Amino acid sequence: MKREIDFVKFNPTQNMTILVKTNHSASEYKHIASKMMSYDSVYAEQVGFIEQPIKHEAAAYLQMAGGEFCGNACMALAAFIASEKGIEQNALMEIVLEASGTDQLVTCQVKKSKEKYFCQVAMPVPRIIERQTVVYEGNDLSLVIVRYDDFFHIVIEVEQFNRTEKERAQSLAKLLGITFGASLIGILLFKPESMEMAPLIYVPPLDSMIWERGCGSGTASLGAYLSWKNKGAIAAEIKQPGGTIHVTADCYEDEVTSLMIEGAVGIVAQGKAFISV
């Protein structure tokens, strides 16, 4: 038996994202997402579901399949809503969203330029940032933990994105997934000299581990880390395999007070998927 799923597919910095438009039981989200993300289906790195908002200020509620918060998916949904509302070339539109993984309303500014939508998103600020040295595989590993209410990112400064570093990141993500009940764990390998990031995102509820080509939430966490490290405001272009995402952040007495990312979103496909149930 096949079920029809109405979807839209987006390209936010090559972090290919599917948003599902049709209504489904929340108990089906993981199954639908796993099927649609697979190579023999629509194929993407993540799936979210568009729901009716709870708060009247919000235009929609974004529920990610793993219950995580996703900055790129927020940008994708904001771009879609602006498109549906008929945003004109070079016009600016504000879209307010509710999203899984955060209790805060997510405010997005969308500007259309040719066939792309340039989005600026006010991101949830981390609860705490802390540096730790842990013994891992017999060696001391210096890392920074950027903690949110339901997920965390780990920043590890490296000289190269080589196979050894990537395999260590994958092992660490799996270990942390077993140890902690987080909806998302990100390992952000960062080369400070070139401002390059390689983001590994692990979603334990879906058992999904992907080296993303562009990560909005990871960019925000890296910006929060840089602001915390520099003890003040920063603005940075974070290079990733799929392109560049801009981040601005400010920090006061070790507490991040503002955090914003900017990136481009393309709407690349829209239609029906057929999922076995």
Which letter does DSSP use for residue 205 in this model?
Answer: G
CATH superfamily label, 128-262: Diaminopimelate Epimerase; Chain A, domain 1 (3.10.310.10)
Q: Are 252 and 13 in contact (CB under 8 A)?
A: no
Architecture, CATH, for domain 2-121+265-276: Roll (3.10)
pLDDT in tens, 196-210: 999 999 998 888 999
> Distance between CA 2 and CA 55 in Å, rounded?
34
Q: Is the dihedral of CA 26, 177, 276, 70 positive or negative?
A: positive
φ, ψ for residue 42, nearest 5 deg: -70, -35
Q: What is the pTM of this model?
A: 0.92
Beta-sheet pairing, 139-147 with 128-136: antiparallel
Residue written as token pair 């003040």: 232
Map out the domains of the chain as residue ranges: 2-121+265-276, 128-262
Q: Is the dihedral of CA 172, 177, 180, 185 positive or negative?
A: positive
Q: Rounded to the nearest 10 degrees, how much is the dihedral formed by the CA atoms of 253, 236, 226, 44?
A: 120
Stretch (H or E) spanning 231: none
Q: Is-same-fold flag (2-121+265-276; 128-262)? A: yes
Each residue's pLDDT, cut to its tens digit, for the chain (277 residues) gives: 789 999 999 999 999 999 999 999 999 999 999 999 999 999 999 999 999 999 999 999 999 998 999 999 999 999 999 999 999 999 999 999 999 989 989 999 999 999 999 999 999 999 999 998 877 777 788 899 999 988 999 999 999 999 999 999 999 999 888 888 788 999 999 999 999 999 999 998 888 999 999 999 999 999 999 999 999 999 999 999 999 999 999 999 999 999 999 999 999 999 999 998 7
Helices (H), 132-273: 163-179, 216-230
> Distance between CA 14 and CA 266 in Å, rounded?
9
**Angle at 258 (CA atoms; ends 205, 67), nearest 5 degrees:** 15
> Distance between CA 171 and CA 69 in Å, rounded?
23
**Angle at 68 (CA atoms; ends 63, 73), nearest 5 degrees:** 60
Partner residues linked to 47 by β-bridges: 18
Residue written as token pair 């994105």: 161
> Distance between CA 51 and CA 24 in Å, rounded?
10
Q: Are 203 and 186 in contact (CB under 8 A)?
A: no
